[in-house]
Every structure is written in structure tokens, then in C-alpha cells.
Amino acid sequence: MAGMDRVHICEVGPRDGLQNAHHLMPTEAKKAWIAALAAAGLKEIEVGSFVPPKLIPAMADTAEVVKYSIGIKDLKVVALAPNLKGFQRALEAGAHKITFPVSASRKHSESNVRMTPEQMIEEVRKCAQLPHPGVEIEGAVSTAFGCTMQGEVPEDDVVRIASALAEFCDCVALADTVGYANPAQIKRVFRKVKHQIGSKLEAAHLHNTRGLGLANALAAYEEGVRHFDSSMGGLGGCPFAPGASGNVITEDLVFMFESMGVKTGIDFQKLMVARDLLRKAIPQEPIYGHTPEAGLPKGFRAAA
């Protein structure tokens, strides 16, 4: 029933966005931006990644950013960990949820984490077996819809990896890391995975590389998905997947759902305040968004 429905949006700009931006955002600006995003109604924010700082300097302050963010009321603070060491650092910093990317593309996996997908699944299993009271573990199947290095990624590989992760993760996400997916494929793959793991399948992580981000989000929504990752201003990409560009744009995703009568819990005007902070913090970085450029339609009403 329209009006009763709601979606949950996780803002991944501070991680997926900034790790691929050309300009570094100072730590204090990151904190102010995250606080503004939370004030706009985002209840979950992926604030950083515990990768080796030498590999991605933009993520070097993740521990400090996590420690700050867990002080924000009602905010679920997510951090990415690529391995056991990252997991331990994330736990130490106090992250509420830790997400592990497991690439379904063998070539991407070897380049990204220097492990095969099978070795990466074992790494996540090892972490999940360590004590982590109250901390949620997400297994995110990346390059689930294609890969710039390998090309096609067999759907059976995606289903197999998602099923393995569902054994010991609290939830599983499917990620179109490089923006290859189309809506028909999104529906097909989400349906296949859901058939295997049911409600453990949670989020859709989509990129807008070919302009299909919103179409893919809607396709996932129609398949029953209610958790979406997106990034303010469409920042984002993957430094180890050449050709990957920005995430689906938070502002446009919020507008799409709210105008459909689907609640996001996010206040559009306050979202613009956060967008201003982003623009001021890294003014040379291109940021996108159709609704922020055009403004809300006359007479627009958010979902009630």
C-alpha cells in the first residue's frame, strides 16, 4: 500500500565517494559532513575503510572518523574491512557494522585484495568467528553484475558466494561496483540470490556509471529490496576497478522514493545543507544530482 512503505538508505559517500575522489577531504570537514548527513535523517553512514593507509590515503583517518561518528545519536556507523587486520581495527574503533567486500570476479578479487573469492570468503568466516558483540557483519558481493577486468561475471558465481556468506554474515548485499547492471539483470540476480538466502539478502549497492542507477534501484525495489547504498553528489568508484564511477546519487534516490510515496526518513532541505558542506570541503571535485540542480517540483510533498 502506497504511503505505508519505507526504504532504508545507507550513505556511502564518506567511504566509496571520498576514496575515489581526486581531492582529499580534511578530517574535520568529514566529521561536519557526516554530522550534517545524520541531521538530514540518514540513519546509516559508511564513514570509512580500514585499508592500509599507504594504499588509500583518503581513508587514513578512518579510525578517528569512526570514533567521532559513534557519538552521533541514532546513527549506525559502518566501516569497510578488506581483511582480518581491517576487521580488528574496525572493532577497536567501535564501528556498529562492518562490511566485507567479496568480489565475484576472480580478476577483480585478486587485484583488489590479492585473494581469490574463495580465500576471501574464508577470511570473512575467520573474522565472523571472532567475538564481535553487538557488531553486525555484512558480506557484500562486489562486481556481482559484471567487471571491467573480467567482463561477464557468471550469475552462478554470485549465487554461490552470496550463499556462502549468508552462513556466517548477518546480511548480504549485492554490488554493481562498476555500473554494468541493467534492470532486468538486477531483478534476475536478486531473485536468484533471494531464493537461496531469503531475508539475509538485504542491500543493493549501485553505481551510476551508465546512467542506470535509479532504474536499477527501482528494479531492485520492485524485487523487494528495501536497503540501498548511495552517495551524495554521486561521488564514488573503485580505485581498483578502472572505469568505475559514482554511486547512485542520494539526493535523486531520495526524491524518487519520496515522490513515489515511499518514506526515506530523509529531509530534502537538510540534505542540501549537507551537500553545501560537501561542495565547500572539496570545491574542485565534480558533484552531480538532477534534483539538486532542478529543485523540487512545485507542490512537491514528501511521503507521509
Kindly list the residues in this chain that would bind Zn ion in the complex (CB under 5 A). 16
Strands 44-49 and 8-11, bridge-based pairing: parallel
Per DSSP, which regions of 82-212 are E strands?
Answer: 97-103, 136-142, 171-176, 201-206
Smallest distance, Zn ion to C-beta of residue 262, A? 23
Pick between residue 16 and residue 252 the one whose CB is nearest to Zn ion.
16
Closest-approach residue to Zn ion (CB)? 16
Q: Which is nearer to Zn ion, 16 or 202 (CB)?
A: 16
Residue 17 vs 292, nearer CB to Zn ion: 17
Q: Which is nearer to Zn ion, 179 or 289 (CB)?
A: 179
In the block, residue with C-alpha cell 551510476: 208
19 phi, psi to nearest 5 deg: -70, -15
At its nearest, how many Å lie between Zn ion and the CB of residue 99? 11
Residues with a known catalytic role: 238
Contacts of 29 (CB under 8 A, 6+ apart): 277, 280, 281, 282
Give first-to-last CA distance, the chain, whole Å: 12
From residue 56, give the alpha-carbon distance in Å to each of 21, 22, 60, 157, 239. Answer: 11, 12, 7, 28, 9
In whole angstroms, give the CA distance from residue 216 to residue 203: 12
Report, in Å, the least distance between residue 147 CB and Zn ion.
Answer: 13
Nearer to Zn ion, 209 or 264 (CB): 209
CB of 205 to Zn ion, least distance (A): 6
Minimum CB separation of residue 206 from Zn ion in Å reads 8
Helices assigned H by DSSP within 174-300 = 183-197, 213-222, 250-260, 268-281, 290-294
